[in-house]
């Protein structure tokens, strides 16, 4: 026991906060904790959260994780926070939060994004200048939206933070941002790794936004030590170092060992993401591919769909099914759901770029309108969106022998088989489905070591694949899935 090295990984997501205790010596996860968040939603695409909920959930999840690990919080050497990307947290000069955080899945600022994109010269202009095409979910349009809808409040902005930066600020009192998460703001150049100050000056010629930017730090650098009062509140060691942290996708990459070419991570969470490591910023000509910086020193070409378990969850609620009953129905329906096709765009959609789209069901007849087909159609529809994204990444030269599957949906063997067949690639889960929290804990260990221990060695020791979950594509099912996918693409093209 004496040589244990304990680290706390936190993942503050849309639906809740998860905490995990990692012993970096043995590579074992010793305990977990979690607490839920609620969403503030509006018909106009508003998706916001009260940041005070994050702090409560952080505390609750940490206490739970320490209790379930049966360890003394005084033994924690470091903490790292993974946060949902793109969210906007505004503080005044007293460090007080000015309004609820606008989230990645908020589409209320779509008109502002359209105008900013036109200012940049459209998709090609945005790609050329920033290395990404700004989308309504990104932080930049939320700033313009705030200026137009809350001008008095805008004039009080002293600090612009992303969700994980805000939690780091709570932990340490310091305002800073790490390159991986910064690259999803829309005012950061992913090639040069610098803020695009001119774009912020365009939104606010007075220079307020520019002076509110946090300092940029490398992913292996600490933000600082935890504040004594916060350490006491959380019940952890006041000497614990707070690592840079990062966006949930960047931390998920570390938590799946996706830090060198050849691995693709696919997350089946409330949103769906597919990403891979790249050593160079090979920016894809496809506007849907975001070539973000990674939190391991390289780049992380990524696609993100807005609808995944939120869509399957909505279908489950409608039909009043628990997970088990839902999965049984999915398994009972044939591939292609007897012609029932669902475009699951309940939140609008980012890939393909259809922010104003709504969900729709096609191909219904008196014979095929069954619960099983509806359940199958929503799982296939969300997975087809990920297939579309994977094809874009493959077109940009990314190759992988297998896909590492994470997120809530990855726990379903039925869904794993559907993914393997639709992608025509073997899929395998990591032992820890909470890959972002694990990645954060690994990053905390890396940071605590002063980067003396390589991230690759830490991942080798701490990221374990679950051989029982390995699922290979079945040839006949691949052919049938391909046929259903073509059918889905035709429906999307007609929107």
For tokens 């398994």, what's the residue?
331
Which tokens go with 224? 């600082």
- Give exposure, 142-174, as e/b (b: 16+ Cβ within 10 Å): bbbbbbeeeeeebeebbbbbbbbbbbbbbbbeb
Which is catalytic among the residues 23, 248, 391, 424? 248
CA separation (Å) from 354 to 43, 200, 414, 452, 465?
A: 17, 26, 28, 45, 35
In 3D space, the residue among 351, 281, 344 whose CA is nearest the CA of residue 307 turns out to be 344
Quote the CA–CA distance of 455 and 258 in Å, as a whole number.
11
**Residue 11 bridge partners (DSSP):** 18, 82
Which tokens go with 446? 């890396």
CA angle, residues 263, 287, 166, in degrees to nearest 5: 70
In 3D space, the residue among 409, 404, 311 whose CA is nearest the CA of residue 105 turns out to be 311
Catalytic annotation on 181? Answer: no
CA torsion, ordered 486, 421, 104, 437, to nearest 10 deg: -170
Quote the CA–CA distance of 173 and 167 in Å, as a whole number.
9
| Active-site residue set | 248
């Amino acid at each position: 026991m004496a040589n244990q090295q304990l680290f706390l990984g936190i993942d503050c997501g849309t639906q809740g906060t998860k905490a995990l205790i990692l012993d970096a010596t043995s590579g074992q996860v010793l305990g977990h904790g979690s607490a839920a968040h609620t969403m503030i939603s509006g018909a106009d695409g508003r998706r916001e959260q009260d940041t005070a909920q994050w702090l409560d959930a952080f505390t609750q999840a940490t206490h739970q994780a320490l209790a379930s690990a049966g360890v003394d919080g005084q033994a924690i050497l470091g903490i790292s926070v993974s946060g949902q990307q793109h969210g906007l947290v505004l503080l005044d000069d007293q460090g007080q939060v000015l309004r609820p955080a606008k989230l990645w899945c908020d589409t209320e600022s779509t008109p502002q994004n359209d105008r900013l994109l036109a200012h940049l010269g459209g998709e090609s202009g945005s790609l050329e200048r920033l290395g990404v095409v700004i989308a309504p979910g990104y932080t930049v349009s939320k700033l313009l939206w705030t200026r137009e809808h809350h001008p008095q409040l805008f004039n009080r902005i002293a600090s612009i933070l992303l969700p994980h930066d805000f939690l780091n600020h709570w932990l340490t009192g310091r305002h800073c941002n790490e390159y991986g998460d910064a690259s999803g703001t829309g005012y950061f150049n992913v090639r040069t790794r610098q803020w695009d100050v001119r774009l912020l000056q365009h939104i606010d010629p007075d220079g307020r936004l520019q002076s509110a930017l946090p300092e940029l730090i490398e992913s292996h650098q600490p933000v600082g030590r935890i504040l004594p009062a916060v350490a006491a509140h959380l019940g952890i060691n006041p000497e614990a170092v707070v690592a840079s942290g990062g966006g949930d996708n960047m931390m998920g990459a570390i938590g799946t060992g996706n830090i060198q070419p050849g691995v693709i991570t696919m997350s089946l969470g409330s949103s769906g993401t597919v990403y891979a490591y790249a050593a160079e910023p090979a920016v894809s000509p496809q506007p849907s591919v975001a070539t973000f910086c990674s939190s391991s020193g390289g780049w992380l070409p990524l696609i993100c769909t807005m609808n995944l378990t939120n869509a399957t969850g909505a279908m489950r609620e409608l039909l009043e099914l628990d997970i088990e009953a839902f999965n049984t129905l999915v398994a009972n329906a044939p591939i292609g759901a007897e012609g029932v096709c669902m475009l699951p765009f309940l939140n609008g959609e980012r890939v393909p770029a259809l922010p104003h789209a709504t969900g729709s069901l096609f191909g219904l007849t008196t014979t095929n309108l069954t619960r099983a087909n509806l359940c199958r159609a929503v799982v296939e529809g969300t997975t087809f969106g990920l297939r579309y994204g994977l094809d874009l990444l493959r077109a940009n030269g990314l190759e992988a022998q297998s896909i590492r599957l994470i997120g809530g949906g990855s726990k379903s063997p039925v869904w794993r088989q559907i993914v393997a067949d639709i992608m025509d690639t073997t899929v395998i889960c990591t032992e820890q489905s909470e890959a972002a929290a694990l990645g954060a804990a690994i990053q905390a260990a890396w940071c605590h070591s002063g980067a003396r221990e390589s991230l690759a060695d830490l991942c080798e020791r701490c990221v374990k694949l679950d051989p029982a979950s390995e699922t290979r594509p079945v040839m006949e099912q691949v052919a049938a899935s391909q046929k259903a996918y073509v059918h889905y693409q035709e429906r999307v093209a007609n929107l």
